[in-house]
Amino acid sequence: MAPGGDAIPESSGKLPSRPRIAAGLRLPGASAVRVRRWTATLREVANLEPQTRRFNNEELRKASLSLRFRAMSGEPLLKLMPEAFALVREAGRRALNMRHFDVQIVGGAALCDGCITEMQTGEGKTLTATLPLYLHSLANKGAHLATVNDYLAERDAQWMEPIYQLLGLTVGVVLTDSTPDQRRKAYGSDVTYGTAKEFGFDFLRDRLLLRAQGRMQSDFLGEGSSERWSSGGDEPVQRTMHFALVDEADSILIDEARTPLIIGSLGDESREMVIATFRWAAEQAERFEREEHYTLENETRKVELTGRGRSLVRALPREDIMRVVPLVDLYDYIERAIKVHGEFIRDRQYVVRDDEIVIVDEFTGRLAEGRKWRDGIHQAIEAKEKIEVSVPTGQAARITVQDLFQRYRHLAGMTGTASTSSPELAKIYKTPVVIVPTNRPPRRVRLPDRVFGTMEQKFEAIIEEIKQYHEQQRPVLIGTRSIDKSMILSKMLENSGIKHDVLNANQVEREAEIVAEAGKKGRVTVATNMAGRGTDVKLDQEVRDIGGMHVICTELHDAARIDRQLIGRCGRQGDPGSYRQYMSLDDDILRGGYGNRRAEQLAETGRARNGPFHRMATLVRRAQRRVERKHFRDRMMLLHHERERTKLQREIGQDTYLDTAE
Ligand SMILES: Nc1ncnc2c1ncn2[C@@H]1O[C@H](COP(=O)(O)OP(=O)(O)OP(=O)(O)O)[C@@H](O)[C@H]1O
C-alpha cells in the first residue's frame, strides 16, 4: 500500500520557485529566534537545489558520503543541516517522486532542533521523518524511528528505503518476531525503524545479558563506537542510543508511558499452585453478587469483597494444591476474577487468537501483539477463557517508555494531534511542541454533532446518513470504538442492502487492500480505530469533484486525539472532505466521565424520552475531557512513583532497570 511514484530521471524537472512560505511563516509554539533559524535553513536548502539537481545518482551518493566524513570528523550536525536536507529532498524527488514541501523542510529543521512537531494528519510525516533521520545518521551512531506498531514500522521503512538507498544509507526494521541476529543487523543499520516496545525490550535484554556476563559498562548506552559489538554469539543487539524520532509522539510518550515494559524471570516453583488458583477463581467468580458479596467503586473500578463475600471465599471448595495459598491472596484472586468477569469483554478489550489473549489497543484499534495487562489481570483473563495461564513469574527487568526515551542523547517527535498534550510533553520530556502549517489550506468540513437517546437510534440515524452519501457515490468511512460494534453496524448495513467492507483487527490480512479501496467512488468502509494513523486513503479526481470522502465517528473515544485521527482520514493534502460526530446517551464515555450512577441516569433519560438530544453534545464532550484529565492524573502518579523508586534505588546502589523487585 505504500504509495510511491515512478522513479524520475536523474536531472529532469523544472526547478520550483523560491520558497513560498519563508517570509511571514507562523509556527505557534516556537520562539522567534527558532523560526528565523528554520526559515534560514529553508532558504539555504532552496539555494542548494539547482546544484543538487545537476548531480547524477553517483554524485548524489558521493556528496552524501562526504557529508558523513565531515560529520564524523567533528563538524556539528546542525551546521550540515542545509546540505543534508538538500540531498534528501533531491533523493525524495528522484526515488519516490515526492519532493519535500517547504513546510516539511521547516518541520525537519524543528525536529533536528529537538522539538515535537504537530503536523496535521495526511501532511506527510513519513516523508518529513527522513530529514532528521538522515542528518543524525551521519554521526554513524544510528538513528531510530519509533512507531506504535510493527505494521507502521515495516510500512514506513519499506516506503522510505529508496531515498536512503540513493544516499548510500542502510535501513533496518526491528519487528516483534525478529531474531537476535536480525535485530543486531537492524540496529547496525544507519537508520532503524521499530516500535518503542521493541526498542525498550532490546535495551532490557541487552542489559540483562551484560550483567550475566559481568561486563556491564557504564558507557554502553552512551557514546561508544558502532563497531564495538561484532555479530554472533551472545552479544547485545543494540549499539548506542543517539537519536530517537518518536512518531505519534503523544501516543507513545504519553499513553504508552503508562505501561512499563517488563521482562519476567523464570524459575518460580509455585507455578502449578498459582495456575490452579487463577483457574479456581475464574470458575467461582460468577457466584459473587454485587453489593452482597462485593462492592465496585465507580471512579477507580476497584472491586472489594464484603464480609459476606469473604465468608463465601472461605467456604468454597479448593484443590489440594491450593492449601498453602494464604487467605488474603485468595481474596485478591477472587476480586481480580470478578473484575475481569465484569469489565474485560472478549472482542472489545481483547481477542482470543491461537489460544492466546491478544489485547486490542483502545487507542489504535490494532492488536497489541505481545503486550500484557499487569497485576495478574492478563492471567485472570486467560483462566476465564480456559486457555493456558501464562504465570507471572516476578520481574527480571523493567523500564518505562519515559525512561527509555529520556536515555537518548537527542529526542524529537511528530504527531498529528499534540497540542492538547503539549504542556505534559514539555513537562516530562522538556520538548517544545511546534505547530507546522499545512502545505495547502485544509478543506475539511465539520458537520454539526448529533446525539441520540440510545445506541440503536444512533445507529439507525447513521445508516440513514450513509445511505444519503452513498446515493451521491461519495465514499464513506465509519469509525467504531470496538470490534463488536463494527460487527453490529456491518449487520445493519447488510440488512439495508448496502455493500461495504469491514476493517478491524480480525482482518489484518486484507487491510492494505481495504484501505486502498476506501476512497473509491461509492465505497462504504466500517472500521475500528485501526483506520487511524497509517491509513493513507487516496482519492481520485472523480471523487474529489463530488466532495471527497465523508467520515462518520460513531462514538467519542477516551482521548479526543483518537477521534481526530479518524477524522484525519478525509481532507488529506488539501482534498475536500467532511465529517460528523455521533453520540448517544448510553455511550461508554459517560460512564468513564461521570461515574456509573450519573451514566445510568442519562441512559434512562435516553430510553424514556424521544430524542434527538443534539443539544447534549457539550455534556458528552465534557465527559471526554474528564476522562482525559483522569488519565493525565494517573500518568503523573506513575511518573512520581517511578521517580521516587529510582531515587531510592540509586541511593542504595542498585541498577534501576534490573533490580526491580515489586
Ligand atoms: N512532499 C510530498 N510530495 C508528494 N506527496 C506527498 C508529499 N508529502 C506527503 N505526500 C503524500 O501525502 C500522503 C500522506 O502522507 P503520510 O501518510 O506520511 O501522512 P501522515 O502525516 O503520516 O498522516 P497520518 O497521520 O494521517 O498517517 C501520502 O499519500 C504521501 O504520498
Query: Where residue 244 sits, what CATH number does that domain have?
Result: 3.40.50.300
> Which mean pLDDT values do the consecutive 10-residue runs of the chain (662 residues) have?
39 56 66 88 95 96 97 94 98 97 95 92 92 97 92 92 97 92 95 94 85 54 36 72 92 74 60 85 93 85 89 88 80 93 89 87 75 83 91 69 88 80 78 86 91 95 96 94 89 95 74 79 86 73 94 92 86 90 95 92 92 92 92 78 78 71 44
User: What is the CA(515)–ligand 1 centre distance, in A?
Assistant: 15
Indicate whether 649 belongs to any domain: no
pLDDT attached to residue 496: 94
d(CA 273, ligand 1 centre) in Å: 53
- Rounded CA-CA distance 14/403 in Å is 48
Q: Is 247 in the pocket of ligand 1 (CB under 6 A)?
A: no
Residue 219 and residue 210 in contact, taking contact as beta carbons nearer than 8 Å: no
How do strand 367-368 and strand 356-360 relate by DSSP bridges? antiparallel
AA letter at 233: G
Do strands 549-553 and 476-479 pair parallel, antiparallel, or not at all (unpaired)?
parallel
- The reply to whether 341 and 386 lie within a common domain is yes
- From residue 16, give the alpha-carbon distance in Å to each of 50, 100, 123, 506: 10, 12, 19, 45
121, 192: one domain: yes
Q: Alpha carbon of 150 to those of 157, 227, 422, 576: distances in Å?
A: 11, 27, 26, 31
Tell me: is residue 536 an annotated ligand-binding position.
yes
- Pick the atom of ligand 1 nearest to 123's CA: 21
Q: Is 104 annotated as a binding residue?
A: yes
Residue type, 215: R
| Host H or E run for residue 482 | none
Q: Could you give phi then psi for residue 365, rounded to 5 degrees?
A: 75, 0
Atom of ligand 1 nearest to the CA of 573: 12
CA distance 164 to 88: 8
Residue 125, annotated as binding a ligand = yes
Residue 541 lies in a domain: yes
Q: Is the CB of 533 under 6 A from ligand 1?
A: yes
- 464 in a known ligand binding site: no
Q: What residue numbers bound the domain in which 95 lies?
A: 32-260+400-435
Query: Residue 357 in contact with residue 249, Cβ under 8 Å?
Result: no
Ligand 1, atom 11, lies closest to the CA of 124
Tally of CB atoms within 10 A around 472: 12
Question: Is the distance from the beta carbon of residue 124 to the nearest atom of ligand 1 less than 6 Å?
Answer: yes
- Predicted confidence at residue 9, as pLDDT, reads 42
Same domain membership, residue 229 and residue 154 = yes
Question: Would 273 be classed as within a structural domain?
Answer: yes
First to last CA, the chain: 44
What Cα–Cα distance (Å) separates residue 589 from each residue in 350, 586, 658?
A: 19, 8, 38
Any idea of the CA torsion for 614, 619, 624, 625, to the nearest 10 degrees?
Answer: 130
**Shared-domain flag, residues 545 and 564:** yes
Ligand 1: residue whose CA is nearest its atom 2: 98
Centroid of ligand 1 to alpha carbon of 124 (angstroms): 3
Let me know if residue 276 belongs to a domain.
yes
Ligand 1 atom having least distance to the Cα of 4: 31
Are 141 and 95 part of one and the same domain? yes
Q: Which of 42, 119, 123 to mutate to test the pocket of ligand 1 (most atoms within 8 A of CB)?
A: 123
Residue 406 corresponds to which cell in the numbers above? 529520556
For 427-433, which contacts have Cβ atoms below 8 Å and span 24 or more sequence positions?
Answer: 428/253, 428/257, 428/402, 428/639, 429/116, 429/253, 429/402, 429/405, 431/114, 431/115, 431/116, 432/29, 432/30, 432/115, 432/116, 433/29, 433/115, 433/116, 433/117, 433/118
With contact defined as beta carbons under 8 Å apart, do 589 and 556 qualify? yes
- Is the Cβ atom of 568 under 6 angstroms away from ligand 1? yes
Q: Would residue 246 count as lying in a domain?
A: yes
| C-alpha 20 to ligand 1 mean position (Å) | 20
| Closest atom of ligand 1 to CA, residue 104 | 1
115 Cα distance to chain centroid: 18
246 and 179 in a single domain? The answer is yes
Q: Positive or negative CA dihedral for 358, 361, 365, 369? A: negative
191 plus 74 within the same structural domain: yes
- Tell whether ligand 1 has an atom less than 6 A from the beta carbon of residue 125: yes
Distance 538 CA to ligand 1 centre (A): 10
Task: Say if residue 420 is in the same domain as residue 480.
Answer: no
Which ligand 1 atom lies nearest to the CA of residue 568?
A: 26
Alpha carbon of 658 to ligand 1 centroid (Å):
41
Helix (H) and strand (E) counts for the chain? 22, 21
335 in a domain, yes or no?
Answer: yes
Closest-CA residue, ligand 1 atom 22, reads 125
**CATH number, domain with residue 301:** 3.90.1440.10
In a domain, 659, yes or no: no
Say if CB 658 and CB 211 are below 8 A apart.
yes
361, part of any domain: yes
Residues 413, 330, single domain; the answer is no
Cβ pair 174, 202 in contact under 8 A: yes
Does the CB atom of residue 127 touch ligand 1 within 6 A?
Answer: yes
d(CA 514, CA 510): 6
Which ligand 1 atom minimizes the distance to the CA of 534? 27
Pocket flag, ligand 1, residue 3 (CB < 6 Å): yes
Q: 187 CA to middle of ligand 1, Å?
A: 26
Specify the ligand 1 atom closest to the Cα of 98: 3
Say yes or no: 420 and 447 in one domain: no
**Ligand 1 centroid from CA 13, angstroms:** 21
In 3-state terms the chain splits into helix, strand, coil percentages (rounded to 5) of 50, 15, 35
pLDDT computed for residue 395 by the predictor: 59
Cα 121 to averaged position of ligand 1 atoms, centre (Å): 8
Which of 565, 573, 575 best tests ligand 1's pocket when mutated (most atoms within 8 Å of CB)?
Answer: 573
| Whether residue 126 has its Cβ less than 6 Å from ligand 1 | yes
Q: How many domains does the chain have?
A: 3
Q: Provide ipTM, 2 decimals.
A: 0.98
Which pLDDT does position 270 carry in this prediction?
A: 62
Which of 393, 424, 452 is a domain's end point?
393
- Contact assessment for residue 144 and residue 122, using Cβ atoms and an 8 Å cutoff: no
Task: Judge if 229 and 119 occupy the same domain.
Answer: yes
429 and 380 share one domain: no
Q: Does ligand 1 have an atom closer than 6 angstroms to the CB of 532? A: no
Could you identify the atom of ligand 1 that is nearest to the CA of residue 569? Answer: 26
